[in-house]
Structure 1
Amino acid sequence: MSNSTYIIDEELFASKGSRILNYILDIIFIMCLIFALAFILAILAGLFQWNGILLWLSDMGDLSGQVVFIGVTIFYYTITEGFLGRSLAKLITGTIVVNENGEKPSFGTFLKRSLCRLIPFEAFSFLGDSGRGWHDTISDTYVVNKKDLAENLKTFHEFNLIGVQEVEA
């Protein structure tokens, strides 16, 4: 078998349109998650008379709201990408996060990706020439079309089998 290693090709990169759609859909999912968590927390606080929680929810200001949004965003991306290799939006658009060899990155890499999203204006960094955002370049990850990647990997591995003799057992 050949010792060659697969390397991601730029032609597999998700389009800027897909990246924008991923961003918009993920923000919608994050907002829905925050609403659901607040709703559940309010119901529990009402049932168990946790008046402090109810007061906090009703008096939540901009700073508290931003802290909650940041925390839920980090949680959302780390968990969905860490376990699925993609966020819910990437599931819809058919894209996936991989390393340079087309494999699923480590959970720590997904956490690093999520934390990089806190960089101001980072959400627009993928609009540059490379099509990769800062959270991609800093974490050495790529957002690619899943179907195209699978076909490309299959072709790569089939090509490596050319000239290899089968060993009979």
Structure 2
Amino acid sequence: MSNSTYIIDDNLLVSGGKRFLNYIIDIVFILVTIFVLAIIFSIFANIFAWQGFLFWMGNMTDLDGQLVFIGTSIFYYLFFEGLFGRSVAKFITGTTVVGEDGVKPDFVTILKRTFCRLIPFDALSFLGSRGWHDSISDTYVVNKKALDEEVKTFHELNLLGVSETI
């Protein structure tokens, strides 16, 4: 069998417009997650009479709100991209995160990618190029269906001429 390794082809990379759409959809889902968690925590705080927690939730500062958003974002991306290689937005748009070899990145790479999202203006960096959280973590966002077809073709072509042993 051949020792060739598949390498991502640039024609699979997702456009800046689709990346921006992924960003907007993910932000909406992060905000929905925060809203749902706030309701759940409020219910528990009322049941168990956590008055201090209820006071804090009702009087959050801008810094508190930003920290909650950052923490939820980190959890969101680690959970979805760590388990599935795709965030909710990537499921909706048919895209996925992969390494240079076309395979879902390991958890350490996803962790690096997630924390790179905290770099100021990272969300805008992909409009001119691959984006900082992609280039720093050596990941790519590609069309999942096209990737699956290309990887299948690559492996089939590698098997041509290889004799079958029983």
**TM-score, structure 1 normalization:** 0.97
Q: Distance in 1 between matches of 2:96 and 2:114?
A: 15
Q: Which amino acid aligns with 2:14?
A: A
2:21 counterpart residue number: 21
2:164 counterpart residue number: 166
Q: Which amino acid aligns with 1:139?
A: S
Q: Distance in 2 between matches of 1:4 and 1:117?
A: 33
1:7 counterpart residue number: 7
Among candidates 116, 121, 133, match of residue 135 of structure 1:
133
Structure 1 residues not aligned, in runs of 5+: none
Q: Which amino acid aligns with 2:81?
A: E
Q: Which amino acid aligns with 2:144?
A: K
Q: Which amino acid aligns with 2:145?
A: K
Q: Which amino acid aligns with 1:136?
A: D
Q: Distance in 1 between matches of 2:137 and 2:78?
A: 13
Superimposed CA distance per residue, residues 73-127 of structure 1 (whole angstroms, 9 cap, x where no aligned partner) = 0110011000011000000000000000000111111111110011000001001
Q: Distance in 1 between matches of 2:79 and 2:113?
A: 12
Superposed CA RMSD in Å reads: 0.6
- Aligned pairs, how many? 166
Among candidates 144, 152, 155, match of residue 154 of structure 1:
152
Q: Secondary structure at the match of 1:127?
A: coil
Taking the TM superposition and a 5 Å limit, the aligned residue runs for 1:41-60 are 41-60=41-60
Q: Distance in 2 between matches of 1:135 and 1:119?
A: 8
Q: Secondary structure at the match of 2:97?
A: strand
Q: Distance in 2 between matches of 1:13 and 1:91?
A: 16
1:36 counterpart residue number: 36
Structure 2 residues not aligned, in runs of 5+: none
Aligned-pair identity (%): 64
Q: Which amino acid aligns with 1:46?
A: N
Q: Secondary structure at the match of 2:86?
A: coil
Q: Distance in 2 between matches of 1:140 and 1:54?
A: 42
* Structure 1 residue 134, shift from structure 2 partner: 0.3
Superimposed CA distance per residue, residues 41-62 of structure 1 (whole angstroms, 9 cap, x where no aligned partner) = 1111011100011000000010
Q: Which amino acid aligns with 1:8?
A: I
Superimposed CA distance per residue, residues 104-160 of structure 1 (whole angstroms, 9 cap, x where no aligned partner) = 1111111111100110000010011x3x11000010000000000000001100110
Q: Which amino acid aligns with 1:67?
A: L
Runs of 4+ in 1 over 6 A off after TM superposition: none
* Structure 1 residue 15, shift from structure 2 partner: 1.4
